[in-house]
Structure 1
Amino acid sequence: MIFSKAGFGGAVADFEAAVVAQDAKRSGKAFVRLQETFGQAKEAERLDGGPRLAAVLAQVPPGPRAVVAVLVGACVERGADAERCAPGVRAGLRAALEAAAAFAEAWAATGGGPFPVPDAGEPGEETVERTGLDAAVGWWTLRQWEMAAVALLNHRAVRAGVGGGDRGELLRLLTGVEAASGQEFRSLGHALQVLDDEPLVALHRTSGTGYALRFFGIGDNFQLHTLLADALIGGGHVAGHAPSPQEVAVCRETPGQVDTVGSFDLTAPDGGRLWNEGAPADIPVVDGVRLLVLDEPSYRRSWPAGRFFPGMRGDVILERALGPEETERWFAHVSPAKELTG
């Protein structure tokens, strides 16, 4: 058997050729070499290898397919073209979610009980007998697909390629799997909910003022909170605690975390609390625009400012202050903040 040159680039070429030829023995050996050589891969090998591996994902058997997808994601994190890699990973993620959903249904139909926790090996014989091999592999590999998908969803162009229908279906499948299994895939859930070029109206209750903003790439409400405080308090529009330049920078694109203190209570139009642990997608839409009320902080809260997705650039942009009449119209949709109980 003749292999290509040593290194990750050679392993990619051998794996690609073997998969296309449906040569199981050769592809198995090349699969091992992919994993062994990735850590020493040169930049050019990663840039070239990511899209080539993504292009043959659909032809790889379900078990090793997830490992190859993780390697694709790792190539993207190191500079490979995320848009070229996205179709293969997106299709694989959907197939894995569908298989995991089938696993949940079969598990419940055969007696239920606690879901098996996937390990580094393969699903056990009893598990496969209860659910079928494809469904069991879907559940077993879902964490790997989460890793691969999130690596690509860090890129705005990839998020734009996941249309509303695709995004909604992936979230529906994921929600069902989480409910049935009792396990949370928080990174994937947040990544699928990231909004880009999203309009937001923020009403500052104390001053009675309103602001039109736009945001993108925000992973959670901790990040949103800090960037809103910078735009409105740091910008001199409302009074309160403004975050430091360092706190703002790590919420945009600078690596790391910096301790910060909360500036607001984030409140929904109906008066309910929107927690920092949630996502901007939780902000209700009113008349086609997400509407958020900023209340004075009810207690002092601190956390490490930064990004839920360290590889995702995000920002909040203040477009304009609303005039008095426009502000009043938006406040007409707002109820008093509800008292916290418990």
Structure 2
Amino acid sequence: MADAGFRAAVPCEVKAQLREHAGAVAHRSQRAAWAGALAAVLDDEPLVVIDPRARRGYALTMSGIGDNGQLHILLADRLVGDPGLGMVTGERPARSWVEAATGGDPHLGPDNPAIRCFRLFDGQGSYISPEGMPADIHPLDGTRVLVLHPPNGTYGLTVGRVFEHMMPALRFDRKLEAAEAQHWLARLAPAVENDLMAD
């Protein structure tokens, strides 16, 4: 299941059954928990990211991303840049963090944690925990939408990716036109900041 070609060959209904069965015994078996998580991995999945402070949006496509911590790192790598060129304001992630999230040693350790550049919420206003996975992002109007909020405090990630042998991809497709960004901004629910790490 760590291989993209294999995942593509497994029917969606089989993946759903695997997630269900693995979830039923995940509390007793770490291997079952991993199998369920792998069955939930998204491939060629469109993603819209909205920066409400700048009133900008971005279209990306994600594949093979095992958890939201990895997604945080890759999003920062793809989106943080010169705001004068329409990118997201912030500090770019260290190369060691990006390597840990892609093809390098995934273990960053406590002395070199990846610090998240923002907090993520979905289009319904729910907090997206770094410990969750991209499949947890509930679609809005049929599309998974992430809303960027500034970080509160320092949240460190000591592992760049949970599945060492799975090759991730987060493709930056384009900046949204102003009218498209406004379309999504008008549909976003306010962020519900009731999670400890969302504060």
Q: TM-score, normalised by structure 1?
A: 0.52
For 1:311, the equivalent position in structure 2 comes to: 165
Give yes or no for contact 1:206–1:296 (8 Å, CA) kept in 2: no
For 1:248, the equivalent position in structure 2 comes to: 98
How many residues align? The count is: 188
For 1:156, the equivalent position in structure 2 comes to: 4
Cα 1:341–1:164 shift into 2, 3 Å: closer
SS in structure 1 of the partner of residue 70 of structure 2: helix
Cα 1:197–1:273 shift into 2, 3 Å: same
The Cα shift of 1:182 comes to 5.9
Cα 1:235–1:280 shift into 2, 3 Å: farther
* Aligned counterpart in structure 1 of residue 181 of structure 2, from 316, 327, 337: 327
* Aligned counterpart in structure 2 of residue 340 of structure 1, from 179, 194, 197: 194
The structure showing larger relative contact order (alpha-carbon pairs under 8 Å, at least 6 residues apart) is: 2
The Cα shift of 1:311 comes to 0.7
CA–CA separation in structure 2 for the residues paired with 1:186 and 1:336? 32
For 1:260, the equivalent position in structure 2 comes to: 114
C-alpha RMSD of matched pairs (Å): 1.8
1:1-12 paired onto structure 2 within 5 Å: none
More helix per residue: 1
Moved over 6 A (4+): none
* Aligned counterpart in structure 2 of residue 229 of structure 1, from 67, 76, 80: 76
SS in structure 1 of the partner of residue 158 of structure 2: strand
Segments of structure 2 that go 5 or more residues without pairing to the other structure are none
1:119-138 paired onto structure 2 within 5 Å: none
CA–CA separation in structure 1 for the residues paired with 2:20 and 2:106? 32
CA–CA separation in structure 2 for the residues paired with 1:235 and 1:305? 27
Segments of structure 1 that go 5 or more residues without pairing to the other structure are 1-152
CA–CA separation in structure 2 for the residues paired with 1:155 and 1:235? 35
CA–CA separation in structure 2 for the residues paired with 1:235 and 1:196? 29
1:26-41 paired onto structure 2 within 5 Å: none
Cα 1:173–1:290 shift into 2, 3 Å: same
CA–CA separation in structure 2 for the residues paired with 1:268 and 1:299? 20
Which of structures 1 and 2 has the bigger CA Rg? 1
Cα 1:206–1:191 shift into 2, 3 Å: same
CA–CA separation in structure 2 for the residues paired with 1:288 and 1:175? 25
Letter in 1 for 2:99: A
CA–CA separation in structure 2 for the residues paired with 1:298 and 1:256? 25
Q: Kindly, what percent of the aligned residue pairs are identical?
A: 34
Residue 239 in 1 paired to residue 108 in 2? no
Letter in 1 for 2:128: L
SS in structure 2 of the partner of residue 292 of structure 1: strand
Q: TM-score, normalised by structure 2?
A: 0.87
Cα 1:255–1:341 shift into 2, 3 Å: closer
